[in-house]
Amino acid sequence: MPEPTLYTYQHRRIHSVDLLRGAIMLVMAIDHVRVYAGIPAGGPDPAIFFTRWITHFCVSGFVFFAGTSAFLLGQKLGSRAALSKYLLTRGLLLVLLELTLIRFCWTFNLDFKSFMLAGVIWMLGWCMVLLAAAIWLPFRVIWIGGLIIIAAQQIFGWVPANLHWWNFFYTVDYEGVQWINILYVLLPWIGVMMAGYGFGRLLQMSPALVRRACWWIGLSAIVLFLVAGSLQIANAPKNEVPFIFRLLNQQKYPPSQLFLLMTLGPVIALVPYAEKARGWFAEVLSIFGRVPFFYYVLHILVIHLAALLVNIIRTGSMHQDWYQTAPYTRIAEDQQWPLPLLYIVFILVEIFLYWACRWYAAYKTNHPEKKWLKYL
C-alpha cells in the first residue's frame, strides 16, 4: 500500500498539504536546534522571541493535517474498518517509538528509569487511537465534536486534581507519576485532529470552493484571534512587555483557544496559495512533507550529533551530559550558542535531511510491495 497521505477522490496527492506539512517540519527543526544550543524559549530579545514563536505553528498544523490525512485515506481505502485498524496500529506504534527510539535520539541515554519522555509523537499516537474509535460516529458529529472540545476545553480543568489518570488527557501537572515527562496531553489535541478530519472532506470539493472556504476559515480565525487577544490584554494588568509580545505569547501547554486560532488560521488560509507554489524551494518542502515521520526521527538524531560536534569545536568537549534529559536541557549562559550559529547548523542539517528524505521518498514509492513502509 502506498504512503497513507493526502489524496483527492482521484487518489492524486494534494500538493498544498505536502508543501505546508514540509514547511512545518522545516520550521520545527529550528526549535530543536535551539534546544541543543541551550538558547531560552523566548525572552525580551526579539530575534530569540520570534525564533521560538514561529515554531508554534508546527504542532497545530501537524496534528490538524494528520486528521485530514486520516479522512482522505479512509476515502481511498473505502472502509471504516480498514481505516480504524490502521489508525489503531499506527497510533500504538508511534507511542512505542516515542518511548524508545525517539527518546534515545533525544538523549543518547539508556537509563530509561531515570527519564522517560512523552512528546508530540506520543500525543499524536494516542490521538490516532482515539480517532480510530471516533470515526465510527456520524461524520458531522466528528468535526463538530472536535470544535466543541477545542472551544470548551476549560471545563476539563474542573476535574478533581487527585484523579491522576485524568492528567493523561488534559493537564501537564503529573504529580505522582515521576518517571514520565508529558509534553503534550490529549485534550484539546484530539479536538484539533477531529477538526482536521472534517477539513478533509472540504479538500474533496471544487478548487474554487476550497479556495474560498480556506480564505474565510483562515481569515476569520486570524481576525478572531486579533480581537480576542487584544481584549485579553486590555483587561489584564499592565506591564512593560510590548503589546506584540503579549499578543503572540499564548499558552501552548495545553494549548489555549487563542493559541490554536493564532496557529491554525494562517495555515488554513495558506492552503490555496500553497497549491500553486512551484520551484526548487517548494519541491524541497514537498519532499519533507511526503515522509514526515522519517524526517522527524532523523532530524532529532542529526541535530543531536551536530550539537556534539559543535561543542567539540567550541569547547573541546562533546558535553553529552547537557542532553541527558533533552529536550529539557540546562546549559550555562556562557556556553549557549550565539543565534547566528543556531541558524548555520540548522541550514547544514536541512541540506543533509533533504538528500536523505529524497532518497527515502523514492524508495518508498518504488517499493509498494513492502507493506511495513506505510507505518513509517
**pLDDT the model gives residue 175:** 46
Q: How confident is the model at residue 167 (pLDDT cuts 50, 70, 90)?
A: low
Mean pLDDT of the region 13-39: 92
Does the pLDDT of residue 369 top 90, yes or no?
Answer: no
Mean pLDDT of the region 217-222: 97
> Max alpha carbon distance in the chain (Å)?
62
pLDDT digits (tens, 9 = 90+) for 58-67: 999 999 999 9
Mean pLDDT of the region 171-185: 63
Q: Which amino acid is at 129?
A: V
Higher per-residue pLDDT: 174 or 284 = 284
**pLDDT the model gives residue 1:** 34
Separation of alpha carbons 242 and 101, rounded Å: 41
Mean pLDDT of the region 254-283: 94
Instruction: Name beta bridge partners: 118.
Output: 182
Please state whether beta strands 181-182 and 117-118 pair in parallel, antiparallel, or not at all (unpaired).
Answer: parallel
Mean pLDDT of the region 274-290: 93
Beta-carbon-side half-sphere exposure of residue 153 (alpha carbons within 13 Å): 25
Separation of alpha carbons 260 and 222, rounded Å: 10
End-to-end CA distance of the chain: 12
Mean pLDDT of the region 22-30: 96
69-78 residues labelled b (16+ CB within 10 A) or e (exposed): bbbbbbebee
How far CA 37 is from CA of 143, 204, 258, 328, in Å, comes to 40, 43, 29, 12
pLDDT digits (tens, 9 = 90+) for 228-255: 999 999 998 888 889 999 999 999 988 9
Does the pLDDT of residue 183 top 50, yes or no?
Answer: yes
Is residue 95 within 8 A of residue 126, CB to CB? The reply is yes
pLDDT digits (tens, 9 = 90+) for 316-347: 999 999 999 899 888 988 999 999 999 999 99
**Chain center to CA of 196:** 13
Separation of alpha carbons 198 and 70, rounded Å: 10
Q: Which amino acid is at 83?
A: L
Question: To the nearest whole number, what is the mean pLDDT of the chain?
Answer: 89
**pLDDT the model gives residue 163:** 59
Separation of alpha carbons 124 and 297, rounded Å: 14
The dihedrals phi and psi of 8, each to the nearest 5 degrees, come to -85, -175
Does the pLDDT of residue 302 top 50, yes or no?
Answer: yes
Strand, helix or coil at 265?
helix
pLDDT digits (tens, 9 = 90+) for 109-143: 988 877 788 899 999 999 999 999 999 999 999 99
